[in-house]
Amino acid sequence: MPSTPMPFTLFTKPWPGKSLGELAGFVKTLGFDGIELPVRPGFQVPPEAVTKGLAQAAKVFADAGLKIGSIAGPTDEMTMAACAEARIPVIRIMAPIPPGVSYLAAIEDYQRQWDLLVPLAEKHGVAIGVQNHNGRFLANAMQLRHAIGKYNPRQVCAIWDPAHNALEGEQVDLALDTVWSHLRIVNFKSAFWKLTSPPEAQEAQWDVCWTTGRRGRANWRWTASELMERHFRGDICFSAEYTDHALVDSLIAEDIRFARSLFAPRHSC
């Protein structure tokens, strides 16, 4: 059974060298309920082997008492069919806006693509999950809602990433209100802007520093409390994204412990 009403899953991008069995054992030891699996070149299941690869991966994780809650990969019909066979409900994507392309033109282009995918998603019972990302992407909650609001969330849904909202200076409670109707997965990671130029430089230079849930600008405590208050039942997916790659194993262990404390049941006296 999941450790909370909202299953905790782990995006396994930092560990491409582990076998499926090693990965399942590692995730189980950390205390997660499942994973988001990258279906990408160089990972345990590459796109060209998705049909057999996802079936094998799902069995390995099921044998360990874990689930594959989502994949990060292509949205072609072969991948959708493989997800359906493996009982994986969501394919996560992001929506970059290319240089020189306006926001509105990019939205129109994405909606033309998604219009073609909706019948396939409905046929296979798989949702396309669109995630917000700071920078030249669908960067904030309103842009995400604007892009996917016309769709049934069973086919095109929101994957909300409060860390990217925080980097964009967006108020997280308003962001959650904006995407709530289409929300299926919430990403847990955190970051802050770090000044990389001297304080009195003629032009300031900033970089993103990815850190733990306690130290970044995303308010994990508020987010956990609000999701419990709203009886959210989708996955909480931990992105395991840290600027210091050498510490990823210890930092994700710290973050899952912190999150458990935030989502622990509250008992009234």
Residue in 94, 89, 91 with CA at minimum distance from that of residue 75: 91
- Return the SS3 of 94: strand
pLDDT in tens, 195-226: 999 989 999 999 999 999 999 999 999 999 99
pLDDT in tens, 173-190: 999 999 999 999 999 999
Residue 185 Cα distances to 49, 223, 269, angstroms: 26, 13, 32
| Long-range CB contacts for residues 240-249, cutoff 8 Å, separation at least 24 | 240/10, 240/11, 240/12, 240/13, 240/14, 240/189, 241/189, 241/191, 241/210, 242/210, 242/211, 242/212, 243/208, 243/209, 243/210, 243/211, 245/14, 248/14
Res 156 pLDDT > 50: yes
pLDDT in tens, 61-119: 999 999 999 999 999 999 999 999 999 999 999 999 999 999 999 999 999 999 999 99
Domain ranges for the chain, please list them: 8-263
Output the six-digit token pair for 209: 């520093």
The domain defined by 8-263 carries CATH number 3.40.50.510 = no
